[in-house]
């Protein structure tokens, strides 16, 4: 069946370092991917998305890379700050059509120390 | 702009009672999704609704769980005769009529004693 997974459950970095969080997916037909940040006690917060016709997309301090050949995507956070500490999920949306359910991976807990 | 609203934020029920979780989508959004999150896990899709219609309930347990999104008022996720295994965080998301960027509410944390 379809699955979305992250390589590491936890990642610890120092403030100011760059963070890389990885995710693998299994559905080669997937068209749309989203990274969410979830802080303790809160709902997932949209960070950045990427369509399958792109390899890279940049936001403010974040970059998502998509490698369709190996079905892998990554989230890069530049100059990581303590406020970035949270659980990060990649989510797979099979198609961009309204009504398609998101399939979430298990999450990577990012801990940023000062 | 108000985001997706959910209430209550925390709900405690004893085994056998009913739980009602409410979700008000963002203004202009006509699509509502419910997800469940167990501790240390990602969110799992339960049901997708539009106004007065259940479109996809493939993630809903076959018994005790139901959902609705009436013409007026919030979407309701109803769990009858709750059991301890129902304890989880339940998140609602909404998306606009076109496209599928889903915005999440803060969740309802259900604890079954």
Distance between first and last Cα of chain A: 41
| B31-37 vs B43-50, strand pairing mode | antiparallel
Residues of B in contact with A109 (CB under 8 A): none
Residue A1's pLDDT is: 44
Q: Hey, which of A37-41, A98-102, B12-16 has the most confident mean pLDDT?
A: B12-16
Ranges A9-13, A27-31, B69-73, B84-88: which has the least confidence: A27-31
Distance CA A81, CA A94 (A): 32
Residue A18's pLDDT is: 96
Reduced to 3 states (helix: H, G, I; strand: E, B; else coil), residue A40 is coil
Among partner residues A36, A101, A104, which is closest to B56 by beta-carbon distance? A101
| Cα nearest neighbour of B31 on chain A | A99
Q: What is the pLDDT of residues B49-72, one digit of tens each?
A: 999 999 989 899 999 999 999 999
Taking the Cβ of residue A28 and every Cβ of chain B, the question of whether any pair is shorter than 8 Å is answered with no
Whether A43 and B105 lie within 8 Å, measured CB to CB: yes
Whether B56 and A99 lie within 8 Å, measured CB to CB: yes
Q: What is the pLDDT of residues A36-78, one digit of tens each?
A: 999 998 999 999 999 999 999 999 999 999 999 999 999 999 9
């Amino acid at each position: 069946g379809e699955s979305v997974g992250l390589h590491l459950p936890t990642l610890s970095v120092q403030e100011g370092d760059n963070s890389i969080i990885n995710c693998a997916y299994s559905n080669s037909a997937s068209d749309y991917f989203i990274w969410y940040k979830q802080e303790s006690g809160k709902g997932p917060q949209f960070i950045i998305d990427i369509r399958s016709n792109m390899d890279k997309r940049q936001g403010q301090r974040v970059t998502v890379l998509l490698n369709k050949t190996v079905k892998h995507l990554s989230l890069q956070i530049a100059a990581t700050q303590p406020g970035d500490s949270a659980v990060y999920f990649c989510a797979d949306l099979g198609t961009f059509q309204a009504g398609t359910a998101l399939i979430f991976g298990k999450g990577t807990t990012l801990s940023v120390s000062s | 702009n108000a985001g997706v609203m959910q209430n209550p934020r925390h709900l405690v029920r004893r085994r056998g009672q009913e739980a009602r979780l409410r979700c008000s989508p963002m203004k202009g959004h006509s699509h509502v999704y419910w997800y469940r999150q167990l501790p240390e896990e990602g969110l799992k899709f339960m049901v997708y609704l539009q106004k007065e219609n259940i479109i996809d309930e493939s993630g809903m347990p076959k018994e005790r769980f139901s959902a609705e999104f009436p013409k007026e008022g919030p979407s309701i996720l109803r769990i009858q005769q709750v059991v301890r295994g129902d304890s989880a965080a339940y998140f609602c998301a909404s998306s606009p009529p076109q496209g599928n960027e889903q915005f999440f509410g803060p969740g309802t944390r259900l604890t079954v004693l």
